Every structure is written in C-alpha cells, then in structure tokens.
Chains A and B, each alone.
Chain A
Amino acid sequence: MAKITKSPWLLHYDGSSCNGCDIEVLACLTPVYDVERFGIINTGNPKHADIFLVTGGINEKNKAVVKQLYDQMPEPKVVVAVGICACNGGVFKDAYNIIGGVDKAIPVDVYVPGCAARPEAIIDGVVKALGVLDEKQKAFKAAKKQKGATK
C-alpha cells in the first residue's frame, strides 16, 4: 500500500464469536493501537461503511443478518474475516450450530488468523483490505465508464 487516499469506515459485526476477537477489534480503535490515525472510523451504519469486519462463524440465525448487512453496504466494499472462527469455524467447527466461516454467507476478501486475532494482525488485515478496496474502486469506476460509453 503506497498511501491511503481515502478514509475508509468500518462496520463491525459479531457473528458468533466468543467476544475475544470483538474486544480486540475495539482495542484497535482505542488509544494504544488507534487505527483512527489512518482515518479509519468505526461506524454503526452499514450504509456508511467501506470495510466489513466480521468476527465469529456463521450459524443459521445470523446468516441472514450478515448477508443483509453486506447487501446494505454500498459498492465497492471489502469483507475482512477476523479470527479463526470467522475464517473456518475454529474451535467451534464441530459444534452443531456452526455452519462454517463467514465465506459460507458472503464473499470474503481478507482472512485474519489468530485466536484471538491480535490487534496487530487485525490492523494488518485492514491495511490489506485498503489495497483490495483500491483495486475494487478502480474496477468499479472502469465498469461505470464502460456502461456510460455503451449508452
């Protein structure tokens, strides 16, 4: 990532996490780790968000919620799965109510490992997500242009 040109906003949703990864996500936003210095703000509104951080795996009940939040976010958007639960189910993989990682419900761009994912790893994931976001934005603009040209 060369430089950050936008200030991307985060939406955080707890799928079925144990809380461990959630408090680490919040820890990223508070003074010691402070992602706000990159212009990153945690927003509660999916319509304001560019990056979707999901912790915890997917179960029958939250599948629809995750999907709905994802659909409400405007294009371009990036999804980051935080913690091993969100990547593939983690320790709860064999539990009867867990379908699997977040990618069972929505497309995931960046996977952050760890149980609990360390704040450094989460920040790294978010920074990676910024790169993905940049590319998606370019593709999105190009597609828009083409659409305009064919009209």
Chain B
Amino acid sequence: MSKRSIVPFGPQHPVLPEPIHLDLVLEDEKVVEAIPSIGFVHRGLEKLVEKRNFHDYMYVIERICGICSFMHGMGYAEGIERIMDVEIPDRAKYLRTIWCEMSRLHSHLLWLGLLADAFGFESLFMHCWRMRETILDMFEASTGGRVIFSVNKIGGVLKDMDNSMLRTFVDMFDKMEEEVRQLTNVFLKDYTVANRLKGVGILTKEDAIINGAVGPMMRAAGIATDTRKLGYAAYGDIDFDIITGKDCDSFARCEVRINEIFQSFNIIRQAVAKIPEGPIAVDVKGNPNGEAFVRLEQPRGEAVFYFRGDGTQFLNRARVRTPTFANIPSLVKILEGCDFADVPILVLTIDPCVSCTER
C-alpha cells in the first residue's frame, strides 16, 4: 500500500466562489476519504429571529442566500401565513410561481457556467453568464433588484407584474429558449464535456437514498422526487413531469438540470397563460401563534422551513434545512475513490451553496 497523505482543499480555492473546506486523504492520486469542515460563512441568522419583528425578519431570511433569495423569502412567508391562517390571493400565488421559476432558471444557468469554468471551458462559462444576465434584467424590471428582491410579504407580494410585462417576458423567454438550446447542446454533445463528466462521481440509487440526497442529485439517480408536486403556490394548477436521469453520474446531473431549464420556461408560460386578475396581497393583523413546516423545491433541492411563534411580534424559533446541507453526505460519498483532479468538478456537481448550508 502506498503512503497516505492529506491535502487540504479550500476554504479559498479558484473554482469555489464560496469557502468550503475539505481534507482529502490521498493514496497517490486517488482520494480515499474526504473530511468536510464547514462554518466559515456561519452568521447565526436563525437566532436573529428573536431580535427582529416578524415582518422585518423577511429581509434577514432572504439573505440566507443570494441565489435563492426569492425562495427563502417565500418559504418564510408561506410558513407565517400557515401559522396565521392567511389565504393569499390567487394572483400572488401565480406571481410567486413565476418568480420561483425565474430563480431556478438563473440558478441553473449560473451553475452551468461554474461547471464549465471548473472543467476549463472558459468561453462556455462566459456564455452561460451572459444569458443569465437577461433573466437578471427581468428581475430588475419586475422587482427592482438583481439578486435580493424583497418582494415577498406576509400575505402576498409587494409588486405586481402587469400583463404587458408578462407578455414581454414570455416573448423574451421564447427567444432565449433557442439560444439556451444551442448552449446546452454544447454540454450534451461535446465530447470534451462528456469526457470530464461521464462515469465520474457515480451516486447509485441506494447511496442516494442512504445519504439522503435531494433535488437534482436524487433525480439524476433515477428517483422521482420534487416537492413542487405538493402544489404550493400555483404549482397545483400547472402541468409538469418530474425530470429524472438514469446514469447516476455527473453527466446525468448536468442533463437533469438542463432539462429543468426548459421545464421552467414551460411552467412560466403556463403560469402566464393562467394568471388571474385581482389583488396581490391581503392585510395581515395580529402576531403569529403556533408552528408550521414548509417544504419548497429550490434549484438545489428540497428546503425545509420551520417556524414557531408565541403570539408576540418576535418568533421564538426559525430553522431552515437547506438542500446543500442535505447533499453534503452524498458529496463525501462520491469523493471517495475519485481522482484528485476530479475533486473540483465533483464538488460542483452537487451545486454547492455554502451560504445556505451554514446560514
């Protein structure tokens, strides 16, 4: 047996926009064990719930993560609405659905870009991010922000998208779809990409279940789970299939996310076609008293929110189980036995969002 050595990976590393630290135990060029250590981005924002009024806490919880900021805000709003028994207007539900899918689109394009960067395909990275900017422009036009939107409120949403804006967006998405198709064809058909991704980082169905994977990690292993099917917001009225892969490798995960991009275009189109007229928010009076669980499908997988209030204006507990946190055991699993040179790609295939994980 050759000698073992331990190589630290991170917290600052060229492929990582965010700090995560792994101690890699190597035997020659093979990783035999990976020991993650997290906590570099820990802020303790769940505890902040005791110091902020429950309306104001919306602005804190959105800042769990700048990529899914909309969905974190929405999870919080849904939780408090459930505790207070508030039924939000239908139009608000549809608007939330549209913004959710736009978040998924920009998140998946961002991830594709980072993945391309990780295997050294710089121009592909730039193209992905160029397309993503179109979606950010739409966000800016509809919410006023590029990454932090602050458009959720308990009882609905703060801003409306009028019908001409929605139609323009659909036109833009139609145009974009063609472009995105060309772009993703590179991922799916280029042999250099296939070389780096096919057969790398296999997470079998059994392992995915044992390690409690979520989101595209789970779906790429052939297991159809998608919390959108629970029908929160307007998802109940929308017709979509759960996208799964079958090869369980990094390529399958890439494929699943690419198909989800087109699925999101589709969901937005359906939502725009069905969106009813009406108010966008209802007034909320009183303080939350009780507890609620909310499950949402974020771009990285299922997020679970828990909130408890005691009738005062400060909640006494907020807890978020974010998808990347759930995917870390699977990451450790796929790192075992991989080549040292594949580590950056494998870290990226779980689509890590460290600021979510550590909050």
CA distance A32 to B133 in the complex (A): 7
B60 touches A91 (CB 8 A): yes
Is B89 in contact with chain A by the CB < 8 A criterion?
A: no
A59 touches B43 (CB 8 A): yes
CB-nearest residue of chain B relative to A32?
B133
B40 touches A65 (CB 8 A): yes
Task: Determine which of B63, B110, B113, B145 lies in contact with A18 in the assembled complex, contact meaning CB atoms within 8 Å.
Answer: B63
A95 touches B47 (CB 8 A): yes
CB-nearest residue of chain A relative to B59?
A91
Q: Number of B interface residues, CB 8 Å?
A: 42
Task: Determine which of B18, B43, B125, B145 lies in contact with A97 in the assembled complex, contact meaning CB atoms within 8 Å.
Answer: B43
Is A137 in contact with chain B by the CB < 8 A criterion?
A: no
CB distance from A72 to the nearest CB of B (A): 10
CB-nearest residue of chain A relative to B131?
A31
- Fill in one digit per residue for B33-59: 1 if any A CB lies within 8 Å of its CB, else 0: 000000111111101100100000001
A116 touches B147 (CB 8 A): yes
A23 touches B110 (CB 8 A): yes
A19 touches B129 (CB 8 A): no
Residues of B within 8 A of A92 (CB): 43-45, 48, 60, 63
| Additional A-B contact list (19), CB under 8 Å, known A15-B41, A45-B14, A65-B19 | A14-B19, A16-B41, A18-B66, A19-B354, A20-B63, A20-B147, A22-B17, A23-B66, A23-B147, A27-B129, A31-B126, A32-B130, A59-B43, A62-B41, A95-B43, A95-B47, A96-B47, A97-B42, A98-B43
Is A21 in contact with chain B by the CB < 8 A criterion?
A: yes
Residues of B within 8 A of A57 (CB): 43
Scan residues 276-319 of chain B and give those whose CB is less than 8 A from a CB of chain A: none
Task: Determine which of B51, B69, B133 lies in contact with A20 in the assembled complex, contact meaning CB atoms within 8 Å.
Answer: B69
Residues of A within 8 A of B145 (CB): 116
CA distance A81 to B42 in the complex (A): 18
B129 touches A26 (CB 8 A): yes
A-B contact pairs, 26 of them (CB 8 A): A13-B19, A14-B41, A16-B41, A16-B355, A17-B355, A18-B64, A20-B65, A22-B18, A23-B67, A24-B147, A27-B129, A30-B113, A30-B126, A30-B130, A30-B133, A31-B129, A44-B14, A44-B15, A45-B14, A59-B40, A61-B40, A62-B11, A62-B40, A69-B12, A92-B48, A95-B44
B63 touches A30 (CB 8 A): no
Interface of B is mostly: loop
CA distance A73 to B354 in the complex (A): 25
CB-nearest residue of chain A relative to B134?
A32
CA distance A92 to B43 in the complex (A): 7
CB-nearest residue of chain B relative to A69?
B12
CB distance from B119 to the nearest CB of A (A): 15
- Fill in one digit per residue for B143-163: 1 if any A CB lies within 8 Å of its CB, else 0: 001111000000000000000
Task: Determine which of A19, A45, A69, A91 lies in contact with B18 in the assembled complex, contact meaning CB atoms within 8 Å.
Answer: A19
Residues of B within 8 A of A19 (CB): 17-18, 65-67, 353-356
B40 touches A44 (CB 8 A): no
Residues of B within 8 A of A32 (CB): 129-130, 133
Scan residues 29-78 of chain A and give those whose CB is less than 8 A from a CB of chain B: 30-32, 43-46, 56-57, 59, 61-62, 65, 69
CB-nearest residue of chain A relative to B358?
A16
Is A142 in contact with chain B by the CB < 8 A criterion?
A: no
Is B13 in contact with chain A by the CB < 8 A criterion?
A: yes
Residues of B within 8 A of A94 (CB): 48, 51
CA distance A116 to B41 in the complex (A): 17
Residues of A within 8 A of B147 (CB): 20, 23-24, 116
